[in-house]
């Protein structure tokens, strides 16, 4: 039976929607609109003088090899963070699902890192890997590895990937565990009776049934890598060395806030906005079709 | 407690607190002095607050130089700028161009009828912060220059005379000996661009930009890819490869590497002395920066760095009076001497330099007058007067990124400096367009 609420009043539905709409307009559409407006302007740092320059900020961006480099950095970073984050937490969740004794303790500890703020996570890992005083650095030195992410770009990248993945694992873990526990035991038992080993059961039964969760996490993790890793980067590498860890969102902040280039930075956020809209649309349109519910 | 009593209590509290809040005019001072320097700065503010009852200077630490400047710009756009803002020397051109956002210090002082004589300040310092007509726009507060420090104990351990190398050739020889003796970190630097591009060029009397290093107009261009500059950066890149130079980062991260005893040689701000004095458990010395002896006329003089105080616009007249009083207080020779002797920053007035000398401070602290001596080594030329590039916060970052590429072995010095010039000029053109 279909349930439907019919409003007889002409204004009531709008009044009920108004608070949510107001929030969306004030906190989402208004700033986004401002970004679009600023992206067509050339402005000095203090906002005392501005000039409408059409698409100059955009053409300047695409002529800048560092901006194009930032796309590559972002791609490497977000694929690594989403890929590693999802696979490690899937592994942990499958293991945790099998634990019988002390499961609660085990699970609680795995969920902990999610309560840590991004900036704190960044500082934590930066300390462990600090070029002159870090414990990990000290150990690595023993193995003959010269660890100095202040100057080595690939090491800096590795550091922020580790910190970002570590922070996101708990979140993914939680969802995977819930997904695993909602898989009917009877299916797995039936397969076991038919002679399928644990690996076979995982690939043919568990994983397909987990695919909606995995798909959801893919979207969330990509968005996380694109935007929420800002704190980790700002607390550790600050986009350096030589822009090796400058992902798109960090470059928006850097150019806009630190270098006071409002126009260029707004143009970047407009581009970023378009990318995320396109990415999310594509994910739902194409990938979701292949997901078995 | 019910709501009424709570409200009554709050009201009473408010009434009691109000008179105290009204009598004193607060002056917000945003700065970037952390650690020992921050303590010294708070000491100055306390002294001023105790000296009179009408004004209260409230120093607020806002992070490192780029951060506090950014915070102030954002605050200005939101209508909440502080009264006084400490801006590092590379932000000078940006602040100067922001005509409605700042009030020239000269005007603040005349309006408040505070005694103020720009000639009392060292000419190398005033020149940096005045407009072309000679009006002082910002108040030189902590002026320093880049100095070269050595860990004498580490030198002795390596079997070297504990004397700092005078030339880059000697420097390289010492570095190799230190390394051979097992020194893990031989040399590090703070502020790589300030030291190895800006001061290096002034010290060898070569320009870093056209139009008198940008002082002559907004249509300036960078010239940091000349053979001598390339030669120097190439040498550093080579040292990094051999493990003779440990890169520490773009700001003052090098300071800690030196005073912890990790690195044997170090170049950094004269202001680093405060931290070194406090933390170093070894014998050290402060020296002139090395030079190439095959360059004619070298060494010239080094240029200042550090920061000046800008007075922000849009405040009440009574607040500007307080600002003027505070700036006059800061110029007093005694206060200057205290700041100079505790922090290692350069005394900015002639009177305070002489007063410090008269107290015998320099005899007791050999090397403390080195920064002034290095700044005034020779009368400044167009190449060694200073620099003024629009949006140089960004420009310097570009230079530092390119230097990092060299130190990481990703680019050769020539390519990196060519790229720095090209990218830097784009920033200059953008600034020129935005500040027509």
Q: Do B434 and A43 touch (CB under 8 A)?
A: yes
Q: Do B77 and A46 touch (CB under 8 A)?
A: yes
**Alpha-carbon distance A108 to A114, whole Å?**
11
**Residue B165 C-alpha from the chain's centroid:** 24
Q: Do A259 and B410 touch (CB under 8 A)?
A: no
**pLDDT value of residue B225:** 95
* Among B260, B408, B433, beta carbon nearest to A242: B408
Helices B317-331 & B35-51 angle (0-180, nearest 10): 110
- Tens of pLDDT, residue by residue over A58-82, are 888 888 888 888 999 999 999 999 9
A46 touches chain B (CB under 8 A): yes
- In chain A, what residues touch B436 (CB-CB under 8 Å)? 49
Beta strand pairing call for B102-103 and B305-312 = antiparallel
Which residue in this structure is represented by tokens 């458990």? Answer: B281
Residue of A nearest to B393 (CA): A259
Q: Do A258 and B253 touch (CB under 8 A)?
A: no
* Among B94, B247, B435, beta carbon nearest to A151: B247
A41 touches chain B (CB under 8 A): no
**pLDDT value of residue B17:** 46
Average pLDDT of chain A to the nearest whole number: 85
Tokens of B339: 């700041």
**Alpha-carbon distance A45 to B392, whole Å?**
12
Q: Do A240 and B404 touch (CB under 8 A)?
A: yes
Q: What is the DSSP string of B148-187?
A: EEEEHHHHHHTT--S---SBHHHHHHHHHHHHHTT-SEEE
* CB B82 within 8 Å of CB B29: yes
Residue B147 reports pLDDT greater than 90: yes
A153 touches chain B (CB under 8 A): yes
Residue B13 reports pLDDT greater than 60: no
Q: Do B401 and A241 touch (CB under 8 A)?
A: yes
| Segment B197-209 mean pLDDT | 94
Q: What percent of chain B has pLDDT over 70?
A: 95
- pTM here is 0.79
Tokens of A77: 């970073």
Return the closest-CA partner of residue B142 out of B40, B63, B258, B248: B40
A242 touches chain B (CB under 8 A): yes
State the nearest Cα–Cα gap between B101 and chain A, in angstroms: 7
- In chain B, what residues touch A49 (CB-CB under 8 Å)? 434-436
Return the closest-CA partner of residue B274 out of B365, B138, B386, B401: B365
**Alpha-carbon distance A144 to A114, whole Å?**
33
Residue B115 reports pLDDT greater than 70: yes
- Tens of pLDDT, residue by residue over A152-187, are 888 899 999 998 999 888 899 989 988 888 888 888
State the nearest Cα–Cα gap between B207 and chain A, in angstroms: 24
| H/E segment holding residue B24 | none
Q: Do B70 and A258 touch (CB under 8 A)?
A: yes
Residue B436 reports pLDDT greater than 80: no
Where residue B241 falls among pLDDT bands split at 50, 70, 90? Answer: very high
Q: How far is CA A66 from CA A71, A193, B218, B248, in A?
A: 9, 58, 25, 23
**Alpha-carbon distance B393 to A239, whole Å?**
16
**Alpha-carbon distance A60 to A52, whole Å?**
15
**Alpha-carbon distance B247 to B283, whole Å?**
23
State the nearest Cα–Cα gap between B62 and chain A, in angstroms: 14
A68 touches chain B (CB under 8 A): no
| Segment B340-366 mean pLDDT | 87
Least confident window among A3-17, A22-36, B294-308 = A3-17
State the nearest Cα–Cα gap between A73 and chain B, in angstroms: 16
**pLDDT value of residue A290:** 61
Tokens of B203: 């010290």
**Alpha-carbon distance B390 to B408, whole Å?**
28
- Tens of pLDDT, residue by residue over B26-84, are 999 999 998 888 999 999 999 999 999 899 999 999 988 888 888 888 888 888 899 99
Phi, psi values for residue A221, rounded to 5°: -70, -35
B194 CB contacts (<8 Å, ≥6 apart)? B146, B305, B396
B394 CB contacts (<8 Å, ≥6 apart)? A258, A259, A260, A261, B427
* Among A46, A60, A243, beta carbon nearest to B73: A46
**Alpha-carbon distance A85 to A217, whole Å?**
10
A128 touches chain B (CB under 8 A): no
Q: Do B76 and A259 touch (CB under 8 A)?
A: no
SS (H, E, C) chain A: CCCCCCCCCCCHHHHHHHHHHHHHHHHHHHHHHHHHHHCCEEECCCCCCEEECCCHHHHHHHCCHHHHHHHHHHHHHHHHHHHHHHHHHHHHHHHHHHCCCCHHHHHHHHHHHHHCCHHHHHHHHHHHCCCCCCHHHHHHHHCCCCCCCCCCHHHHHHHHHHHHHHHHHHHHHHHHHHHHHCCCHHHHHHHHHCCCCHHHHHHHHHHHHHHHHHHHHHHHHHHHHHHHCHHHHHHCCCCCCCCCCCCHHHHHHHHHHHCCCHHHHHHHHHHHHHHHHHHHHHHHHHHHHHCCC
Reduced to 3 states, what is the DSSP secondary structure of residue B10?
A: helix
**pLDDT value of residue B292:** 95
Q: Do B404 and A257 touch (CB under 8 A)?
A: no
A51 touches chain B (CB under 8 A): yes
Q: What percent of chain B has pLDDT over 90?
A: 49
* CB B233 within 8 Å of CB B403: yes
Q: Do A48 and B393 touch (CB under 8 A)?
A: no
**pLDDT value of residue A134:** 82
| Residue A6: exposure state from Cβ atoms within 10 A (0-12, 13-18, ≥19) | exposed
* Among B74, B260, B401, beta carbon nearest to A243: B401
Least confident window among A53-57, B141-145, B301-305, B416-420 = A53-57
Where residue B178 falls among pLDDT bands split at 50, 70, 90? Answer: very high
Reduced to 3 states, what is the DSSP secondary structure of residue B215?
A: coil
**Alpha-carbon distance A56 to B303, whole Å?**
37
- Tens of pLDDT, residue by residue over A245-283, are 889 989 988 888 777 788 888 999 999 889 888 887 887
Where residue B16 falls among pLDDT bands split at 50, 70, 90? Answer: very low
Dihedral sign for Cα atoms in the order B297, B298, B301, B304: positive
**Alpha-carbon distance A137 to A130, whole Å?**
7
- In chain B, what residues touch A65 (CB-CB under 8 Å)? none
**Alpha-carbon distance A89 to B294, whole Å?**
62
**pLDDT value of residue B21:** 47
* CB B299 within 8 Å of CB B377: yes
- In chain A, what residues touch B101 (CB-CB under 8 Å)? 46, 48
- In chain B, what residues touch A46 (CB-CB under 8 Å)? 73, 76-77, 98, 100-101
- In chain A, what residues touch B422 (CB-CB under 8 Å)? none
Q: Provide the 8-state DSSP code for B194.
A: I
| Segment B306-331 mean pLDDT | 90
State the nearest Cα–Cα gap between B14 and chain A, in angstroms: 34
* Among A44, A150, A152, beta carbon nearest to B249: A150
């Amino acid at each position: 039976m279909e349930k439907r609420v019919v409003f007889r009043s002409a204004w009531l539905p709008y009044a009920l929607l108004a608070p949510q709409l107001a929030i969306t307009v004030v906190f989402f559409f208004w700033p986004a609109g401002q970004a679009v407006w600023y992206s067509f302007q050339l402005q000095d740092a203090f906002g005392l003088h501005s000039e409408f320059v059409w698409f100059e900020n955009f053409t300047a961006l695409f002529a800048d090899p560092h901006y194009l480099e930032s796309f590559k950095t972002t791609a490497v970073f977000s694929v690594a963070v989403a890929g590693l984050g999802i696979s490690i937490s899937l592994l942990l969740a499958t293991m945790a699902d099998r634990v019988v004794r002390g499961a609660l303790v085990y699970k609680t500890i795995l969920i902990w890192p999610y309560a840590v703020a991004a900036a704190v996570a960044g500082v934590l890992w930066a300390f462990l890997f600090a070029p002159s005083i870090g414990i990990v650095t000290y150990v690595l030195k023993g193995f003959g590895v010269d660890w100095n992410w202040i100057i080595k770009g690939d090491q800096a990248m590795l550091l922020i990937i580790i910190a970002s993945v570590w922070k996101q694992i708990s979140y993914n873990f939680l969802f995977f565990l819930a997904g695993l526990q909602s898989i009917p035991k009877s299916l797995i038992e039936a397969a076991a009776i038919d002679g399928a080993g644990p690996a076979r059961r995982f690939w043919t039964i568990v994983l397909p049934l987990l695919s909606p969760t995995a798909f959801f996490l893919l979207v969330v993790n990509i968005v996380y890598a694109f935007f929420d890793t800002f704190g980790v980067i700002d607390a550790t590498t600050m986009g350096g060395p030589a822009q090796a860890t400058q992902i798109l969102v960090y470059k928006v902040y850097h150019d806009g806030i630190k270098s006071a280039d409002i126009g260029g930075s707004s143009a970047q956020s407009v581009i970023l906005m378009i990318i995320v809209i396109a990415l999310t649309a594509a994910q739902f349109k194409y990938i979701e079709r292949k997901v078995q519910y | 407690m019910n709501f009424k009593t709570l409200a009554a209590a709050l009201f009473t509290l408010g009434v009691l607190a109000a008179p105290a809040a009204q009598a004193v005019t607060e002056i917000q001072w945003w700065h970037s002095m952390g650690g020992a320097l921050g303590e010294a700065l708070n000491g100055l503010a306390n002294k001023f607050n105790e000296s009179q009852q009408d004004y209260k200077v409230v120093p607020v630490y806002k992070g490192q130089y780029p951060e506090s400047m950014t915070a102030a710009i954002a605050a200005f756009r939101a209508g909440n700028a502080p009264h006084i803002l400490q801006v590092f020397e590379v932000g000078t051109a940006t602040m100067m161009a922001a005509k409605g956002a700042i009030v020239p210090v000269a005007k603040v002082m005349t309006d408040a009828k505070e005694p103020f004589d720009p000639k009392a300040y060292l000419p190398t310092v005033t020149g940096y912060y005045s407009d072309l007509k000679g009006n002082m726009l910002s108040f030189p507060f902590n002026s320093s220059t880049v100095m070269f420090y050595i860990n004498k104990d580490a030198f002795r351990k390596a079997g070297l005379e504990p004397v700092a190398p005078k030339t880059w050739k000697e420097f390289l020889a010492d570095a190799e000996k230190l390394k051979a003796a097992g020194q893990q970190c031989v040399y590090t630097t703070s502020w790589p661009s300030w030291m190895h591009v800006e001061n290096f060029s002034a010290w060898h009397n070569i320009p870093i930009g056209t139009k008198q290093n940008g002082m002559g107009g907004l249509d300036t261009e960078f010239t940091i890819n000349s053979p001598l500059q390339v030669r120097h950066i190439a040498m550093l890149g080579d040292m990094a490869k051999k493990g003779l130079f440990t890169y520490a980062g773009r700001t003052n991260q090098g300071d800690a590497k030196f005073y912890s005893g990790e690195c044997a040689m170090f170049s950094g701000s004269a202001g680093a002395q405060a931290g070194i004095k406090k933390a170093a458990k070894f014998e050290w010395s402060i020296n002139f920066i090395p030079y190439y002896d095959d360059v004619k006329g070298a060494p010239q003089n080094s240029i200042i760095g550090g920061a000046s105080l800008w007075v922000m616009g849009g405040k009440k007249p009574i607040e500007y009076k307080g600002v003027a009083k505070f700036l006059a207080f800061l110029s007093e020779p005694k206060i200057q001497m205290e700041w100079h002797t505790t922090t290692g920053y350069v005394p900015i007035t002639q009177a305070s330099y002489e007063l410090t000398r008269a107290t015998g401070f320099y005899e007791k602290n050999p090397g403390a007058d080195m920064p002034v001596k290095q700044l005034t080594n020779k009368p400044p030329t167009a190449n060694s007067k200073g620099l003024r590039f629009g949006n140089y916060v960004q420009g310097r970052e570009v230079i530092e990124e390119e230097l990092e590429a060299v130190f990481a072995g990703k680019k050769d010095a020539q390519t990196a400096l060519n790229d720095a010039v090209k990218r830097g000029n784009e920033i200059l053109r953008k600034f020129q367009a935005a500040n027509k």
